[in-house]
Structure 1
């Protein structure tokens, strides 16, 4: 028998070190070639590290959350053959074929990693109970879903990566009649003294660092404006009814992206980056819109590049493709960087007002709140209209309050008179 030492590979782009985010194997596990061994975090992109050999894991080179240098020992695997020590870097990520969105437009995708699918034994199997103190992998949304259904997550076998419990696993659990929703009501009022410490690693650490950096460096101020979106919603419904089957359904986001593009023609100072060290502002002609969205690993901001050159359906297709890549952990570094202005929305949970944090080095972020029907006075008559707030933040070092207000008012005018979105 021999030992095969796998070193941290060179991810590229001059990266000297990466954070070990998660192990998918443990000491004693048998692994096969191309099986995913670990996830590592580089800036904001997650990369799968596959095994180049068959064998048995005998040593792990680090703990989740540890920052490791390129070339350091990642994992040691016992393999059949000569007893001498063999070394290699983990296989470099391989580009996958483009992900085709369900809409008409197809844009090339550049996922970070292309390791072969994990062996079925890693993520499949009968549902079994875990130890009482064992915390299963699951996103906050899945945990809340389980709580609402009265399901103990430790009783559910996860079918996601590394045994992560997914929403589908909860539904499957219920379908098999194993829900503990009928547990005694008294248990809900039992005294609890348990505590749980969660290490801040991986994506959550990156988010924390960026948010702290943004609030310390930029002089934030927010501006909120109310918008009547009745007309734009009627247009959206009409276009979906007429073209939805052939071109794909439109959400409000592509219209907001279009409104940003048109408004920025008169307010180029919003489509800019501020360099703290050089004390210089760079205004950009290209509009690369970051679309903040939630994923299982935390907040991610994939970028719709050259939004100024995209139609509604082209923008919709790209947003959909990027959202799928982000939520599946397959968004590349390029797809998560380079934005010039950011659009953030909580969808139906958008609330009335929010105070979004800037995505530095950008100087503006436009936040979308939920749409509600309210009685409004229009031409002396009380009518029901669909209303929505835009809660936006700006860097006061670069953007004056008057300019911010005028910029959002311009977006308001475009959305309330949607024909102006397409008048050149």
Structure 2
């Protein structure tokens, strides 16, 4: 038997270190060639680290949230044959495998607040909401956190389920959505049904800010620290635009795809930016240089299980409505699945953000540094309006925008949004060159 050391890979682009986001194996596990061992994150993307060989995990070289240098020891395997570890090589500090089988190590989901260095006392044990039939009983140790994704944790919290009592069928005991479904179906009723809703709850959870959540926190903090934001909100009557959208979907939806309002908003933005090039720009405040771009590389704010990402739809100015709709769907899905290529995760010149049906009345979006503007779309609602002395029902929607006041004057920002409004309220103008 020999020892095979897997090191932090060189991902290229001059990257010297990565952040360890999560483990998919634990000491004592047997792994096969190409099996997914860990996730590491650079400034631009999350990268999966596969195993180059078969073997047994002896030790792990770090914990989630730790920043590791390229070439540092990541995983130590016991393999058939000689392995690749030299006898005189100094051993790296690793988590040693215990003699007895170990329980699943806790991998914390991403969260929105920093965590203290010292761990908090373990939460008091809670009773399971229901004991599912046909599912092995799971009793984890005091303070032990089950392995699950942030999405699964959020869903369990909404269901009132304590994950410590849920059996995980995934690798290393990871709990998935199907495990929650199995647990909830154990009594033929939703988890927690039949229990009193007026029960005191005790316990607390510390969630390290690691991986994507750490990058989001750093970027948001940097944007607010460096950019003097000012926001501008305008109401837009989109009645005719909505009628046009529905008509186009009736005529071409089955062959060219369904259209949402976003492609129309992108088209209006592209046309308005022709008269306001200072808004389609990036500001390097270290050198004091504003770079105006002829191309509109649109950042599409996208919510993922791990947090907010902004993939980039390149050359939006060259896309018709259906190509734009397909492009937005493609880059958003790439971000959600974690498979977006690096070139689609940077280089945007202006960003569009929308919360869809949750858009609210108004918002104050944060600029995607080093851009100088962001436009947010709020919820469309039907409200009464006066038109020609008559009260009529109209479809209204607010545009909420933020600008970098160092390089965009308030008057120019207002005129830009008014230009978008004029195009959206008379949608035929979107197709007039």
Q: Name the TM tier (shorter chain).
A: 0.7 to 0.9
Counterparts in 2 of 1:6-85, with a 5 A limit? 6-82=6-82, 85=85
Relative distance call for 1:161 and 1:324 in structure 2 (3 A) is farther
Question: Does the Cα contact within 8 Å between 1:150 and 1:179 map onto a contact in 2?
Answer: no
For this pair of structures, how many residues does the alignment match?
385
Alignment deviations for residues 281-301 of structure 1 (CA, whole Å, 9 cap, x no partner):
000001000000110011000
Identify unmatched segments of 5+ residues in structure 1.
Answer: 88-124
The reply to whether residue 243 of structure 1 matches residue 259 of structure 2 is no
Partner of 1:372: 381
* Residue from 328, 331, 334 that aligns with 1:319: 328
Relative distance call for 1:280 and 1:420 in structure 2 (3 A) is same
Relative distance call for 1:302 and 1:387 in structure 2 (3 A) is same
Q: CA deviation at 1:44?
A: 3.2
Name the TM-score, length of structure 1 as normaliser: 0.85
Relative distance call for 1:324 and 1:161 in structure 2 (3 A) is farther
Relative distance call for 1:128 and 1:223 in structure 2 (3 A) is farther
Relative distance call for 1:135 and 1:194 in structure 2 (3 A) is same
The reply to whether residue 286 of structure 1 matches residue 307 of structure 2 is no
Relative distance call for 1:170 and 1:233 in structure 2 (3 A) is farther
* Residue from 203, 210, 213 that aligns with 2:222: 213
Name the TM-score, length of structure 2 as normaliser: 0.83
Partner of 1:108: none
Q: Secondary structure at the match of 1:270?
A: coil
Question: Does the Cα contact within 8 Å between 2:20 and 2:39 map onto a contact in 1?
Answer: yes
Q: CA deviation at 1:150?
A: 4.1
Separation in structure 2 between the aligned mates of residue 401 and residue 212 of structure 1, nearest angstrom? 23
Separation in structure 2 between the aligned mates of residue 160 and residue 286 of structure 1, nearest angstrom? 45
Relative distance call for 1:241 and 1:135 in structure 2 (3 A) is farther
Q: CA deviation at 1:153?
A: 3.9
The reply to whether residue 358 of structure 1 matches residue 367 of structure 2 is yes
Q: CA deviation at 1:248?
A: 1.2
Partner of 2:5: 5
Structure ranking higher on relative contact order (CA contacts 8 Å, 6+ apart): 1
Partner of 1:179: 190
Alignment deviations for residues 362-418 of structure 1 (CA, whole Å, 9 cap, x no partner):
000001111111111112111111111111100000000000000011111111111
Alignment deviations for residues 258-282 of structure 1 (CA, whole Å, 9 cap, x no partner):
1111110111110000011110100
Partner of 1:111: none
Partner of 1:415: 424
Partner of 1:121: none
Q: CA deviation at 1:204?
A: 0.5
Relative distance call for 1:364 and 1:378 in structure 2 (3 A) is same
Relative distance call for 1:293 and 1:133 in structure 2 (3 A) is same
Partner of 1:345: 354
Relative distance call for 1:335 and 1:84 in structure 2 (3 A) is closer
Q: CA deviation at 1:135?
A: 3.8
Separation in structure 1 between the aligned mates of residue 408 and residue 43 of structure 2, nearest angstrom? 28
Partner of 1:265: 274
Relative distance call for 1:219 and 1:11 in structure 2 (3 A) is same
Question: Does the Cα contact within 8 Å between 1:5 and 1:86 map onto a contact in 2?
Answer: no
Question: Does the Cα contact within 8 Å between 2:313 and 2:328 map onto a contact in 1?
Answer: yes
Separation in structure 1 between the aligned mates of residue 297 and residue 274 of structure 2, nearest angstrom? 14
Q: CA deviation at 1:59?
A: 1.1
Q: CA deviation at 1:140?
A: 5.6
Separation in structure 2 between the aligned mates of residue 255 and residue 422 of structure 1, nearest angstrom? 10
Question: Does the Cα contact within 8 Å between 1:269 and 1:399 map onto a contact in 2?
Answer: yes
Separation in structure 2 between the aligned mates of residue 21 and residue 157 of structure 1, nearest angstrom? 23
Question: Does the Cα contact within 8 Å between 2:25 and 2:171 map onto a contact in 1?
Answer: no
Partner of 1:196: 205
Counterparts in 2 of 1:15-164, with a 5 A limit? 15-82=15-82, 85=85, 129=138, 131=140, 133-136=143-146, 142-156=152-166
Question: Does the Cα contact within 8 Å between 2:184 and 2:191 map onto a contact in 1?
Answer: no
Q: Secondary structure at the match of 2:286?
A: coil
Give the stretch that moved more between structures: 128-137 or 63-72.
Answer: 128-137
Q: Secondary structure at the match of 1:319?
A: helix
Separation in structure 2 between the aligned mates of residue 183 and residue 225 of structure 1, nearest angstrom? 48
Give the stretch that moved more between structures: 212-221 or 158-167.
Answer: 158-167
Q: CA deviation at 1:31?
A: 0.5
Cα root mean square deviation, aligned: 2.3
Question: Does the Cα contact within 8 Å between 2:5 and 2:84 map onto a contact in 1?
Answer: no
Separation in structure 2 between the aligned mates of residue 323 and residue 209 of structure 1, nearest angstrom? 22
Q: Secondary structure at the match of 1:214?
A: helix
Separation in structure 2 between the aligned mates of residue 160 and residue 218 of structure 1, nearest angstrom? 44
